[in-house]
């Protein structure tokens, strides 16, 4: 299907044009806001059969520049609708159409239909598609997408929303734009629902490739691992431990383990994690994994098998929680004082017990993993948060509990003057009568954290 390239930097007008182009013509389009993006697309996308452009953009004669570019590259046959009378093109060609008033939608539609060969019968068959939301952060890690991507815009008139295409299938898009959207408060982008599975699978594979790539930087690998963890959580919450979810978890845990091994110390790991916008949930899991690894190294009973079990538990421990706000809650007080609704509060309160229940459905569960995860907030029954957990919890649950407490304290400290030994003394003092807890603290005290 032929496409329209729309060059327009006014959000309201952009909405009006794309809404009408879809509604009346069923036309496929892509919008850009700069000359560079426009020429990039014209060079790569043979399906673009019409350009609709503003006459001028701030600081440049966009219509004139586009005409000159088309002349230069021998694409003069590409028709262009110019919106506004400030274009300064001296010798307009037969396939240039100036619509002097940018709000003369009728003229724009009529000319577009003519140029694209859209008939009245085609117009009658236009169906409104349905869209599926994808979290915007994913697009900061991906380079290309397997289908077109839209953003949502409230209608200028009346109620409802419209979808404006901003990323084209297989086209390397600028991440700056996505970052700007995000800074403007946008949380999701949209794809056509029909492409949902294809998109999520391709996106997951992309991230897995980044995690395993020799060329990718640590920061890129972390971003990809965090995204994969989130995809896992969504799949796990929707369909449970399917074969596919299990495969994704395995890849993510491998990546977390590799990032633990490749980090010089905890400071370096946290600096890298915080250099980028990673989710709290991932920062938390990745850094607990680092600390727990050091504990097992220093425990006389520590083994490779214990590390693997613990990494599995660390990856899964908050996977039933829906977002970072829920995952950041560390005590009964924080839970009760939070702005969460009742259902979310209940989800946080019982997540340890619920995940332990889910673990029992697994056929090849690491031995005792259900008990360990049940006790990860110090409560035997997996309900709520116990600040004073007993000494007879499962030993790995105690390792997890102390490591999480240590990481929480570091993340809450003034990171420019973190003093791990001082924090460990505080933890030691809290649990001073419980030898299994103090043993973990002693293991931690032996490590050079890089601070
Ligand atoms: Fe938790
Ligand atoms: Fe946690």
What's the CATH code of the domain at 177?
3.40.50.2300
Cα 20 from Cα 13, distance rounded (Å): 11
The H or E element containing residue 50 is: strand 48-54
350 C-alpha to center of ligand 2: Å? 13
327 C-alpha to center of ligand 1: Å? 7
Cα 370 from Cα 384, distance rounded (Å): 16
Cα 68 → chain centroid: 39
Q: Which ligand is nearest to the CA of 321?
A: 1
288 C-alpha to center of ligand 2: Å? 9
Q: Which ligand is nearest to the CA of 382?
A: 1
378 C-alpha to center of ligand 2: Å? 12
Residue tagged 């996977």 (tokens): 319
In DSSP terms, 135 is beta-bridged to 188
**Are 173 and 289 contained in the same domain?**
no
**Are 236 and 281 contained in the same domain?**
yes
**Are 274 and 232 contained in the same domain?**
yes
Cα 375 from Cα 373, distance rounded (Å): 5
CATH number at residue 368: 1.10.3210.10
**Are 189 and 233 contained in the same domain?**
no
Residue 201 lies in a domain: no
Residue 288 lies in a domain: yes
Pick from 369, 284, 290, 371: nearest CA to 329: 284
Q: Which ligand is nearest to the CA of 283?
A: 2
Residue tagged 């889910």 (tokens): 358
List CB contacts of 55: < 8 A, sequence separation 6 or more.
61, 62, 63, 82, 83, 84, 85, 86, 87, 98
Residue 203 lies in a domain: no
Give yes or no for a contact between 27 and 168, defined as CB atoms under 8 angstroms apart: no
pLDDT of 154 reads 77
**Are 246 and 174 contained in the same domain?**
no
Give yes or no for a contact between 138 and 205, defined as CB atoms under 8 angstroms apart: no
Residue 340 lies in a domain: yes
Q: Which ligand is nearest to the CA of 404?
A: 2
Give yes or no for a contact between 334 and 349, defined as CB atoms under 8 angstroms apart: no
403 C-alpha to center of ligand 2: Å? 10
128 C-alpha to center of ligand 1: Å? 42
* Counted domains in the chain: 2
64 C-alpha to center of ligand 1: Å? 59
Cα 31 from Cα 8, distance rounded (Å): 7
**Are 229 and 260 contained in the same domain?**
yes
Q: Return per-residue pLDDT of the chain as tens, 451 residues.
A: 688 999 998 877 887 888 788 777 877 889 998 999 999 999 988 889 999 999 999 888 999 999 999 999 999 999 999 999 999 999 899 999 999 988 888 889 889 988 888 887 777 666 667 889 998 989 988 889 999 999 888 776 666 778 888 899 988 888 998 999 999 989 999 999 889 889 999 999 999 999 999 999 999 999 999 999 999 999 999 888 899 999 999 999 999 999 999 999 999 999 999 998 899 999 999 999 999 999 999 999 989 999 999 999 999 999 999 999 999 999 999 999 999 999 999 999 999 999 999 998 887 888 999 999 999 999 999 999 999 999 999 999 999 999 999 999 999 998 888 899 999 999 999 999 999 999 999 999 999 999 8
Residue 208 lies in a domain: no
Give the C-alpha distances (Å, rounded to integers) separating 237 from 316, 318, 351: 11, 11, 12
Cα 17 from Cα 105, distance rounded (Å): 7
312 C-alpha to center of ligand 1: Å? 14
344 C-alpha to center of ligand 1: Å? 13
259 C-alpha to center of ligand 1: Å? 22
Residue 200 lies in a domain: no
323 C-alpha to center of ligand 2: Å? 12
**Are 188 and 225 contained in the same domain?**
no
327 C-alpha to center of ligand 2: Å? 6
**Are 271 and 188 contained in the same domain?**
no
Give the C-alpha distances (Å, rounded to integers) separating 339 from 56, 111, 323, 345: 47, 53, 13, 9
267 C-alpha to center of ligand 1: Å? 23
**Are 337 and 376 contained in the same domain?**
yes
The pair of structure tokens assigned to 14 is 């952009």
Domain range spanning residue 88?
A: 3-193
**Are 60 and 148 contained in the same domain?**
yes
Residue 7 lies in a domain: yes
366 C-alpha to center of ligand 2: Å? 20
In DSSP terms, 188 is beta-bridged to 135
**Are 130 and 259 contained in the same domain?**
no
Backbone angle region of 148, left / alpha / beta, with phi > 0 → left and psi within -120 to 50 → alpha: beta
Residue 202 lies in a domain: no
| HSE value, Cβ hemisphere, 13 Å, CA-based, for 370 | 12
The pair of structure tokens assigned to 313 is 């538990």
Q: Which ligand is nearest to the CA of 378?
A: 1
**Are 317 and 184 contained in the same domain?**
no
pLDDT of 233 reads 95
353 C-alpha to center of ligand 2: Å? 14
pLDDT of 159 reads 65
Phi and psi at residue 70, in whole multiples of 5°? Answer: -60, -40
């Amino acid at each position: 299907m032929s496409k329209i390239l729309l060059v327009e930097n006014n959000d309201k007008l952009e909405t009006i044009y794309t809404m009408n182009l879809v509604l009346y013509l069923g036309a496929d389009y892509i919008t850009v806001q700069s000359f560079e993006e426009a020429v990039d697309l014209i060079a790569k996308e043979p399906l673009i059969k019409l350009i609709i452009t503003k006459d001028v953009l701030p600081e440049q004669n966009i219509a004139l520049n586009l005409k000159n570019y088309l002349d230069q590259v021998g694409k003069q046959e590409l028709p262009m609708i110019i919106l506004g009378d400030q274009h300064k093109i001296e010798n307009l060609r037969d396939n240039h159409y100036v619509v002097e008033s940018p709000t003369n939608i009728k003229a724009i539609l009529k000319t577009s239909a003519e140029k694209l060969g859209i008939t009245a019968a085609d117009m009658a068959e236009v169906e409104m598609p349905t869209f599926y939301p994808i979290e915007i952060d994913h697009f900061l890690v991906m380079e290309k997408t397997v289908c077109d991507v839209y953003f949502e815009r409230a209608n200028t008139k009346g109620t409802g929303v419209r979808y404006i295409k901003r990323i084209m299938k297989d086209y390397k898009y600028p991440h700056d734009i996505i970052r700007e959207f995000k800074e403007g408060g946008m949380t999701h982008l949209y794809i056509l629902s029909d492409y949902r599975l294809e998109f999520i699978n391709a996106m997951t594979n992309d991230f897995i490739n980044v995690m395993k790539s020799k060329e990718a930087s640590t920061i890129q690998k972390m971003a990809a691992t965090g995204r994969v963890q989130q995809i896992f959580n969504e799949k796990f919450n929707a369909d449970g431990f399917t074969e596919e979810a299990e495969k994704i978890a395995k890849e993510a845990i491998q990546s977390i383990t590799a990032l633990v091994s490749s980090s010089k110390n905890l400071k370096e790991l946290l600096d890298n994690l915080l250099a980028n916008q990673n989710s709290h949930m991932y920062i938390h899991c990745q850094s607990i994994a680092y600390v727990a690894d050091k504990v097992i190294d220093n425990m006389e009973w520590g083994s490779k098998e214990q590390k693997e079990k613990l990494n599995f538990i660390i990856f899964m421990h908050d996977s039933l929680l829906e977002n970072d706000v829920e995952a950041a809650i560390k005590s009964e007080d924080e839970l009760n004082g939070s702005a969460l609704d009742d259902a979310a509060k209940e989800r946080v309160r019982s997540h340890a017990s619920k995940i332990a229940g889910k673990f029992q459905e697994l056929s090849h569960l690491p031995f005792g993993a259900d008990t360990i995860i049940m006790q990860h907030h110090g409560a035997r029954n997996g309900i709520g948060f116990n600040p004073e957990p007993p000494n007879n919890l499962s030993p790995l649950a105690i390792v997890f509990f102390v490591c999480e407490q240590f990481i929480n304290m570091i993340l809450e400290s003034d990171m420019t003057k973190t003093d791990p030994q001082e924090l460990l003394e505080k933890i030691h003092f809290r649990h001073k009568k419980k030898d299994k807890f103090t043993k973990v603290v002693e293991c931690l005290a032996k490590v050079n954290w890089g601070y």
